[in-house]
Amino acid sequence: IGIFFGNPETTPGGRALKFYSTIRMDIRRKATIKKDEDNIGITAKVKVVKNKLAPPFKETLFDIIFGKGISKEGDIIDLGIKYNILQKSGVWISYNDIKFGQGRENCKTYLQEHPEIAKEIENKILTTAGLDKRISKEVPKK
């Protein structure tokens, strides 16, 4: 007859699937990524609805390129701007004195063509976020 309140989307399988699942995510298409006239991917918005391993209800955006998967260069751009490693003025994105280009897609193309710069920015992001891959040799004190 229709749903008057709550989420109209249901998970098939009754209550068991919702109960026994460890992680449940709601994935939605936010925008379409185009190159010339062709659709080459989407920007996906993901919300963690249930998580038994970590805090739930986190949200994120990322690019999915058809035939390739999640765009690492897009994540580098987003996190680089978030942590002030990349400078954004209008639609221009730059790093130190290097201008990547006008627009996000041109910046992604530049990072694909120059993987050494992408790796350098990625390492700075990991260091700034406290996620660098160095393993401490020091034994923790009790």
Query: What's 71-133's CATH class?
Result: alpha beta
Give residue 114's pLDDT.
92
| Dist CA 130 CA 125 (whole Å) | 8
Sheet with 38-51: strands ordered across: 23-35, 38-51, 59-65, 69-70
Instruction: Estimate to the nearest angstrom the gap between the alpha carbon of 97 and the chain centroid.
Output: 26
Q: Which residues contact 1 (CB under 8 A, 6 or more apart)?
A: none
Is 4's pLDDT higher than 70? yes
Beta bridge partners of 67: none
Tens-place pLDDT, residues 40-97: 999 999 999 999 999 999 999 999 999 999 999 999 999 999 999 999 988 899 998 8
CA of 24: how far to CAs of 6, 7, 21, 47, 56, in Å?
17, 15, 7, 9, 9
The residue extents of the domains of the chain are 13-70, 71-133
The per-residue pLDDT for range 91-140, each reduced to its tens digit, is 899 998 888 888 888 899 999 999 999 999 998 998 888 887 653 444 44
